[in-house]
A and B are shown apart, each in its own frame.
Chain A
């Protein structure tokens, strides 16, 4: 059953933020609608208002500056996929967009909506995390910038306050370092069989690894960086032994963070397989 939220279409960001200041708690922002409309149809949307932010210019645009690669929250998955600037500076993000939903979904779904929905399996999030993305949020009081890693509060709890909108993300460019994204399992497949991973690494001349950043999706309550594994790999050569030890540590860390569940046995194997696959190009 559809509920009947009222509809509001602000002309400017300021108008949207003023609306949220008074009605934020009763409002769901509407971007591409690929999560919101599914919830609405399922009767899971309890908000009084839908605030259509899909046309706000302030949420659009991809650009590169000395701060980093900036991607507007309202940019669609298709736009990211077709952006030469993203291809050059964040190839793993491009890859997460290539395997995202279907063409019809990619044409409307936004990166802001992907983060805003805060699903444990949101595909753009692991790449954003390895690029140390910062989220710029605005309310009528002004802007705040938060490391994306510190924004999420839990599964489907984005940490965006009711009076705020996501405006853009700022990513640290890859700068020639190795980056990749891998996923297994389709979205509709049982949660147990899904998993995603992003890697950014900097192999040195002498074969050891400089920077290593590794983020896991669908293995933990929210996508997150696996810092213990990063520390373990850093400064080591990516030989088979190290990578295999790394994959075991990856599984241990996942279980330590998430706890044991009936699905754990499967997930332990999946996370190790995905880890070996994503590191394979770096193994001597």
Chain B
């Protein structure tokens, strides 16, 4: 078997096919933020504690800072940039604005991805399910109540659109 210091990886990012070469010393976060310049995904702690780097991989929320870049091979990845469309916010994003779930905004992309992952599995989450779903996301500004409200409201609206 061959070993690689860098290896070609192909994956789908927000609906587009991407090919790039990366090594195991690089994380999914570096590839997405630095190499592909999608700056929505944030780097906070870099060690799985804050959730600022949360992305969806095959529909599940993961910490991009803990994923080796070559592990992206063949996966379907969604970042916050894939949530809304040009000129049209996703119902979750609208709900965050309306319910004052955003202050400095640093935690928001990660929270949106955790919320999206929840809604994919549980379209009408309970309060408890929302709290649990964002337990890996730190927010230093809001105190979470507005965020939980926003997610529940956004889930209702997302469901309503389908």
Chain A contact residues, CB within 8 Å of chain B: 2-10, 15, 18-19, 30, 33-34, 37-38, 40-41, 49-50, 52, 54, 78, 101-105, 107-108, 188
Residues of chain B with a CB closer than 8 A to A103's CB:
61, 114, 117, 132-133, 135-136
Q: Check if A41 sits within 8 Å of B47, measured CB to CB.
A: yes
Asked if B60 lies at the interface with its beta carbon under 8 angstroms from chain A, I say yes
Known: A38-B48, A38-B66, A52-B68. Contact between A104 and B61, CB under 8 A?
Answer: yes
Chain B contact residues, CB within 8 Å of chain A: 1-5, 7, 23-27, 46-49, 51, 54, 60-63, 65-68, 70-71, 73, 114, 117, 132-133, 135-137
Q: Check if A105 sits within 8 Å of B63, measured CB to CB.
A: yes
The prevalent SS among residues of A at the interface is mixed
Residues of chain B with a CB closer than 8 A to A41's CB:
46-47
Q: Select one of B7, B66, B114 contacting A7, CB under 8 A.
A: B7
Known: A41-B46, A104-B51. Contact between A8 and B3, CB under 8 A?
Answer: yes
Known: A5-B24, A108-B62. Contact between A37 and B67, CB under 8 A?
Answer: yes
Q: Check if B48 sits within 8 Å of A105, measured CB to CB.
A: yes
Central interface residue in A54, A103, A104, A107, by most chain B CB within 10 Å: A104
Additional 8 contacts, C-beta under 8 A, given A2-B26, A52-B24, A107-B61 = A5-B25, A33-B67, A37-B27, A38-B48, A52-B71, A101-B136, A102-B136, A105-B63
Known: A50-B24, A102-B135, A104-B62. Contact between A7 and B1, CB under 8 A?
Answer: no
Closest Cβ of chain B: how far from A29's Cβ, in Å?
12
Q: Check if B67 sits within 8 Å of A6, measured CB to CB.
A: no
Please give me the residue from chain A that is nearest to B74 by CB atom. A55
Bound-state CA distance A38–B49 (Å) is 11
Known: A7-B68, A7-B70, A52-B71. Contact between A19 and B62, CB under 8 A?
Answer: no
Q: Check if A104 sits within 8 Å of B63, measured CB to CB.
A: yes
